[in-house]
Amino acid sequence: MGMNWLLWSVLLVFLVFGSVPVGSDAGSDPDPDLHPDPPRDPHTPQHTPPHTPRRTFPVLTVQFQTVRKPFESALWILLASLLKLGFHIIPRFSSVVPESCVLIMVGLLVGALIKLLGETLPVLDTQLFFLVLLPPIILDAGYFLPIRPFGENLGTILVFAVVGTLWNSFFMGVVLYGVCLLEGSSQLAGVDLLACLLFSSIASAVDPVAVLAVFEEIHIHELLHILVFGESLLNDAVTVVLYHLFEEFAMMGEVTLVDVFLGVLCFFVVALGGVLVGAVYGLLAAITSRFTSHTRVIEPLFVFLYSYMAYLSAEVFHLSGIMALIACGVVMRPYVEANISHKSYTTIKYFLKMWSSLSETLIFIFLGVSTVAGPHTWNWTFVSATIVLCLLSRVLGVAGLTFFINKFRMVKLTGKDQFIVAYGGLRGAIAFSLAFLLSAEHFPMKNLFLTAIITVVFFTVFVQGMTIRPLVDLLAVKKKKETKFTINEEIHTQFLEHVLVGIEGVCGHYGHRHWKDKLGRLNASYLRRWLIVGERSQEPQLISFYNRLELEQALLVAESGTAGRLTPALPSSASLLAEKQKSVMNVSKEREQRIRKILRANLQKTSQRLRSYSRHALFLEEEEEDDWNEMKLQKQRLEMGRRMSHYLTVPANWQESPPLRRAKTESGNQVKESRPSAAVSVPIVSVESVPPSAPADSGMSPDKTADSPPQTVGGALKSLAGSGRGKGRKPSVTFALDVDEQKLPRCLSDPGPNKIDEEDEEHREWEV
Amino acid sequence: MGAFHSVPDDHQYHILSEKTGFSLEQIGILHNRFKQLSHNSDVLRRDDLNTIPDLASNPIKSQIVEAFFDGRNLRKDSEGPVQEIGFEEFLIVMSYFRPPSVHMTEEQREGIRRDKLRFLFNMHDTDNDGTITLEEYRHVVEELLSRSGSLGRETAKGIADAAMLEVANMSVGRMVQYLLSSVSWKYSRFIDKERNCCYIGIQSVLRKILVHSAYST
């Protein structure tokens, strides 16, 4: 508890001292006592006039102005991060109140503080928002977008995004105009129909930042999550078009039919143009990543730069920048991931998470600060009408559209689903920024709009954000499953896909599945060959999936093994996992015990049964097996070196432990062994990153000298995620089995309960 | 095998509709396709299905074709493969892909789900002994990777083994007769009236297979 108080006091100190320089005007002077002369550029030669008194050499000077801007920015970011830290230290709090609420409240607090101190408040600069704060969040969302559910529900998502947003805008705009007319007060007299429509188009767009912030914490099942989230991403195109459309119309004053038609055309141009721009940049990134095998350090940079360029290029033409970002991320991901090293992948993932988390925090804080700052025009009728209409139009829209959509869907959306979709339509900072962008001359009621939008945003984030979690529990909405990426699931996904395509073929029906299959084959035969370096282009997806799975498991085990011994020396990503590993490993140890007991009991039987298979399988006799294994391991060593450098460098120590024995390996199979018991330390292999061409001589394989079947040697580390290079020896991590059985014809490996990092589960999706 | 007149009449359609649950219109569409595939004869043979151009690039083509000629799927007493099927059998196989209609009770839905699972199980279990063994599973994985050349074959074994062990890990000590799915998966099907036939949608995936395998006691 003492730590908590310390943290809070630090935060308070920062708050107070931070608000002072932040709020100070440009012209304030630094402390004059230390430096009598006015601040001067230190590089200009000092032309002291002859009559100035000789002054002492200044040992310590204060020059705040030169570093002011970066200092302020860094201070804000530091403040935001410390707040995030503090927020998560208090466990009870974070489970009741969603993070976004807390951040807005902190923003309000900071704003109030600054105002009290009499300084000018920093307002949410829309340039800053759209060009710096928003892209990381969208890129993070787009890059890790789960493709499969997104693709399956694309029709539904598009209908919600396009038709739903249109309905919301028009319904709310018209009714609001009617309310303004009826109300008849002087404040609302200047509000005409077009202004109302513009306002409602801003206020009706579901905001991806807010949705992400809230939905990430409630863990509903995949379908609902992707529906709301996908809608919030795709409605950007509609919002952009409507916004510009109504702005133009309001400024021109009159609307003709041609204008309406052009507006519709504009929508298609904006949406498809954005996607096209994104796809082009995505392909460029994929091509570039083909050649980065010699400079792996800057690989993540290409991903970020190309995506950002896609966003900016789309913004140049007023196309939908968000859709460009999403398209870029989606297009480039499969190819880039096949080309870059594992470390680069980790870098990309963590950088994206870091930036998007930071952006989100800053956005909400600034929202709070701007609320305190902005000039407000409060009108009870307008504001309350806005809130009521927002809710009403959303509910009506979702209900009506679902009725229509369910006729075409396989899995119908139930009432509960509809409720969550409607309730999850949160508004956020994008709406606020768009309102801020309105020019005050053409829209004298801009302050009124701003106030109303802020109120709506606050309402949705606070009320809906806080209550959605208990509501989800109350309604017993299905939660997200523990997605363990099992190999069985993958096999059956593929199998079922092929069965379905086949049955479609038998029926002579060309459904969307058929075209998807064709696209997949086109992808495999052309795109993958050009865009993916080396032999991985030929790798079928089942194999790459399997390799990836093995790689992850090995890394997990490797890191968990070292976690107990080398904790300080480990990189932080491992310690992130180590936390989870400890708890998970304990569970799995019991399972391991159980499994080993049962396996031991069964092995006698299975060995005989399997031997009976072996007559026509590839079983060799025991003596031959040893030689075979020698040869195989030699080959593996060569392969390993090449693949290791490409995929992973596990900085661990080589440990040998006596009780380990090397179990036999079946010739035709890969060597995999069950996890060792608790008493035995896990042998980990140290591998230096070897250039691809050098023959592997990293000390990995076990001692080869012993011939007799039971050997006290550690396991052999096979390189993971290597593609089968012709010989098809795909190594994997092995650990010796502490088993008495001598007659094991094969080692049964336990890929184990998949202890994949939760973040990986949520954010990695493999395409099939 | 069912003796069908070349011009089917309503009466037979009604019988079929009751047996398989298709509507009359759907049966008509399927019959057209059947005649097209079988070149206007009464029976369909393996070669007729094997020569469908759309199936040519499908890695598990042989298993799909076999499924049509598998005695267990045809609800007959005979367990082995048959050589030719009539329209009725064709419809029966197709009916495995129907969605549960809205008017069904929960038990009926369960029954349908079981049928579908049984169908899939039969596709894996090629030696008709009611169990999927490691060899059969390996064969499945090999078939899936069969289009990717020789590199697929070696890793196929590894993949199949890992998969089997996963199952063993999850279902230690249990004996289950056939495929079961965990909670989240649904079958549904949608018949497209304009086009020729039907297609299937499977919304979520099998999470695990519990098999009566080499690892049971």
- Considering only the beta carbons, identify the residue of A510, A726, A730 that sits closest to B158: A730
Q: State whether residue B175 sits within 8 Å of chain A by CB.
A: no
Contacts of A529 in chain B (CB under 8 A): none
**Residues ≥6 apart with Cβ < 8 Å to A154:** A230
- Single-letter amino acid code for the residue at A645: S
Phi and psi at residue B201, to the nearest 5°: -125, 130
Structure-token match 């590199």, residue found: B151
Contacts of B33 in chain A (CB under 8 A): 507-508
pLDDT at B116 over 80: no
CA A471 to mean position of chain CA atoms: 26
- Give me A106's structure tokens: 């902190």
CA dist B161 and A671 (Å) reads 10
Q: What is the DSSP letter of B198?
A: E
Residue-by-residue DSSP string for A337-387: HHHS-HHHHHHHHHHHHHHHHHHHHHHHHHHHHHHHHS-----HHHHHHHH
CA dist A277 and A328 (Å) reads 8
**Domain positions in chain B:** 13-212
Report pTM. Answer: 0.65
- Give me A475's structure tokens: 């309604």
Using an 8 Å Cβ cutoff, are A296 and A344 in contact? yes
Contacts of B70 in chain A (CB under 8 A): none
Residues facing residue A654 across a β-bridge: A684
Using an 8 Å Cβ cutoff, are A169 and A204 in contact? yes
Q: What is the DSSP letter of B200?
A: E
Kindly report the nearest CA distance between residue A540 and chain B, in angstroms.
Answer: 6
Kindly report the nearest CA distance between residue B5 and chain A, in angstroms.
Answer: 22
Quick count: other Cβ atoms within 10 Å of Cβ B56?
10
CATH code for the part of the protein at B13-212: 1.10.238.10
Average pLDDT of the residues of chain B = 64
Q: What is the DSSP letter of A733?
A: B
Q: State whether residue A481 sits within 8 Å of chain B by CB.
A: yes
**Residues ≥6 apart with Cβ < 8 Å to B137:** B124, B160, B163, B164
Using CA of residue A107, residue A109, residue A115, residue A118, what is the dihedral sign?
Answer: negative
CA B45, B47, B49, B55: dihedral to nearest 10 degrees? 160
**Residues ≥6 apart with Cβ < 8 Å to B71:** B78, B79, B80, B81, B82
- Considering only the beta carbons, identify the residue of A521, A610, A613 that sits closest to B57: A521
pLDDT at B204 over 50: no
CA dist A63 and A41 (Å) reads 10
Chain B nearest-CA residue for A479? B184
Kindly report the nearest CA distance between residue A543 and chain B, in angstroms.
Answer: 7
| Residue length of chain B | 217
CA dist A323 and A375 (Å) reads 33
Contacts of A617 in chain B (CB under 8 A): 135
Q: What is the DSSP letter of A429?
A: H
Using CA of residue A257, residue A259, residue A262, residue A268, what is the dihedral sign?
Answer: negative
Kindly report the nearest CA distance between residue B162 and chain A, in angstroms.
Answer: 6
Q: Inter-chain contact A609–B214, Cβ cutoff 8 Å?
A: yes
Testing the interface with B: which of A226, A483, A491 to mutate, by most B Cβ within 10 A? A491
Those of residues 46-65 in B touching chain A at CB distance below 8 A are: 49, 52, 54-55, 57-61, 64
Q: State whether residue A749 sits within 8 Å of chain B by CB.
A: yes
Q: What is the DSSP letter of B128?
A: S
Q: What is the CA radius of gyration of chain A?
A: 31
Q: B40-67, pLDDT tens digit by residue? A: 888 878 887 788 777 777 778 888 888 8
Structure-token match 């018949």, residue found: B191
- State the complex-level ipTM: 0.76
Q: B129-152, pLDDT tens digit by residue? A: 666 666 777 777 777 777 655 555
Q: Inter-chain contact B151–A504, Cβ cutoff 8 Å?
A: no
Contacts of A503 in chain B (CB under 8 A): 64, 94, 97, 198-200
Burial class (CB in 10 A: 0-12, 13-18, 19+), A38: exposed
| Residue length of chain A | 768
Those of residues 62-81 in B touching chain A at CB distance below 8 A are: 64, 68
Kindly report the nearest CA distance between residue B64 and chain A, in angstroms.
Answer: 7
- Give me A190's structure tokens: 């200047």
Those of residues 86-145 in A touching chain B at CB distance below 8 A are: none
Q: Inter-chain contact A732–B158, Cβ cutoff 8 Å?
A: yes
3-class secondary-structure state, position B199 = strand
Query: Who has greater pLDDT, B200 or A546?
Result: A546
CA atoms within 13 A on the CB side of B68: 27
* Rounded mean pLDDT for each run of 10 residues along chain A, 768 residues in total: 57 58 41 40 50 78 85 85 82 76 86 82 78 91 85 88 91 89 73 84 88 83 87 86 82 77 87 92 90 86 93 91 91 86 88 90 86 80 88 92 85 84 88 82 80 90 87 79 64 76 75 74 76 65 70 70 43 42 47 58 46 38 49 59 50 38 37 36 36 37 37 33 36 36 38 39 35
Kindly report the nearest CA distance between residue A739 and chain B, in angstroms.
Answer: 17
The candidate with the shortest Cα–Cα distance to A722, out of A536, A482, A557, A502, is A536
